[in-house]
Amino acid sequence: MTSLRLPRADGTLEDYRLGEPRAFPEADVPFDRVAYAAAHVAGDPLADVDPWLDAAVDWDATVAYREYLWSLGLGVAEAMDTAQRGMGLGWDVTQELIRRSLAAARENTRALIACGCGTDQLEPEPGVTTDDVVRAYEEQLELVEGLGGRVVLMASRALAACATSPDDYEKVYARVLSQAAQPVIIHWLGDMFDPALAGYWGYDDPERAMDVCLFILQAHAAKVDGVKISLLDKDREIAMRGRLPEGVRMYTGDDFNFAELIAGDGEGHSDALLGIFDAIAPAASGALGALARGDTDVFHDILEPTVALSRHIFKAPTRFYKTGIVFMAYLNGHQDHFVMVGGQQTARSLVHLADIVRLADRAGLLRDPEEAARRMRAVLAVHGVV
């Protein structure tokens, strides 16, 4: 068995033996849940840029990972916060990402894809108005739909900064949704993921904010495929799920409780649009296939150990979860480097990364333990652990 010397939280080192990877069942039947993985981008390690200022993307590795997700039957939610949208990846590079991913999707008969449409080309500074927010949304909507893509309507930092009441949210969303060519997914991203979105929908109280969001969904249900909420609160998601207009889906964005929410209860279930599905793609695919076959025991058996991994990757400060997502891709050989846009590979500690190795191993997610160990040793050596 392959072994590593991994750091503990107390500063000591332990000899840790990696187990064998799990053979996840193939998804040989259509899923009965819509499942998007919010896909990451790979940084370009050879680009001569200042990482904190300029985004350089390894396009080959980035597009190849989308092909990998599609091969497992998962959809791709493109240009979302998992791709460091607004957190290192600016609108200029995002446009190229969307173009390349939609072009790849057109060549793949299995490709399900939806692209993030936001307002990140607009700085949330004094003087910005709701009209400016609408124009920014319109620019991105025109790009995505002009390329034949479906839209995830992302929460807007600029709107959060300039809105003075819930009425401003209602007016902005009404104007944007009226122009959508096909139903969109509305994304409610909590401030644990992005502090600039605190008070979204006009209220700090999440219950009152939910009422505003539901009012907008009900008023424009024909233009809404679903709503993705990323609040890490399963009870609130279940409550909102029960109040959705007929035909509007709930896409869970709860990376703490996703297995339970996707499985559902006697009243309903959530579909999925999850960052963690990027990191646990083979397990997610196998579990969803089992669920579609009616085998809920296998579904939970596969996903139960991945929940612990997800809760670790998404632990506070949650906005740094992208580091763990990309680290998993590196360990599993989907990119030859652990380099991120914005230099965010440094956003988590070596101990945090070591715990990802342990938890991924217990979930059977290290597809080649010997290669994963070799890659982890390189990271350890950079930190002085030899």
Spatial distance between the Cα atoms of 20 and 372, rounded to a whole number of angstroms: 12
- Confidence at 9, pLDDT banded by 50, 70, 90: very high
Note the pLDDT of residue 327. Answer: 98
d(CA 367, CA 274): 21
- Measured between alpha carbons, how far is 317 from 223 in angstroms, rounded to an integer? 34
**Mean pLDDT of the region 68-83:** 97
Domains of the chain, earliest start first: 27-321 (3.20.20.70)
Position 120 scores a pLDDT of: 96
- Does residue 317 have a cis peptide bond before it, meaning omega lies within 30 degrees of 0? yes
Q: Which segment of 46-50, 270-274, 348-352 scores lowest on mean pLDDT? A: 46-50
DSSP lists the bridge partners of residue 265 as: 268
What is the per-residue pLDDT for 28? 81
Percent of the chain past pLDDT 70, that is, above it, reads 100
When pLDDT is averaged across residues 7-22 and rounded to a whole number, the result is 96
Convert the pLDDT of each residue in 172-220 to its tens digit.
999 999 999 999 999 999 999 999 999 999 999 999 999 999 999 999 9
Q: Is the pLDDT of residue 29 over 90?
A: no
Please give the pLDDT value at position 110: 86
CB burial of residue 350 (10 Å; 0-12, 13-18, 19+): middle
Share of the chain above pLDDT 90, in %: 96
**Which residues touch 141 (CB under 8 Å, ≥6 apart)?**
117, 151, 176, 179, 180
Question: Residue 386's pLDDT band (boundaries 50, 70, 90)?
Answer: confident
Q: In degrees rounded to 5, what are phi and psi of residue 180? A: -70, 135
The HSE-up count of residue 201 (CA atoms within 13 Å, CB side) is 22
Cα angle value 282/284/290 (rounded, 5°): 105
DSSP 215-264: HHHHHTGGGEEEEEEE-S-HHHHHHHHTTSPTTPEEEE--TTTHHHHHH-
Residue 89 near residue 51 (C-beta atoms within 8 A): no
Shortest CA distance to 327 belongs to which of 379, 382, 257, 381? 379
Cα of 192 vs its chain's centroid, Å: 14
Place of tokens 């644990």: 192
The three-class DSSP label of residue 348 is coil
Instruction: Tell me the residue length of the chain.
Output: 386
Does the pLDDT of residue 45 top 80, yes or no? yes
SS3 of 213, please?
helix
Q: How confident is the model at residue 324 (pLDDT cuts 50, 70, 90)?
A: very high
First-residue to last-residue Cα distance in the chain = 19
Look at 20-29, 34-43, 223-232, 280-289 and tell me which has the smallest mean pLDDT: 20-29
Quote the pLDDT of residue 272: 98
pLDDT score of 1 more than 80: no
Distance, CA of 69 to CA of 288 (rounded, Å): 14
Q: How far apart are CA 41 and CA 97, in angstroms?
A: 9
Confidence category of residue 164, pLDDT binned at 50, 70, 90:
very high
Indicate if the alpha-carbon torsion angle 187, 190, 194, 199 is positive or negative. Answer: positive
Q: pLDDT tens digits, residue range 236-266? A: 999 999 999 999 999 999 999 999 999 999 9
- Which contacts of 136-141 are long-range, i.e. CB under 8 A and separated by 24 or more positions? 137/172, 137/176, 138/176, 138/179, 140/91, 141/117, 141/176, 141/179, 141/180
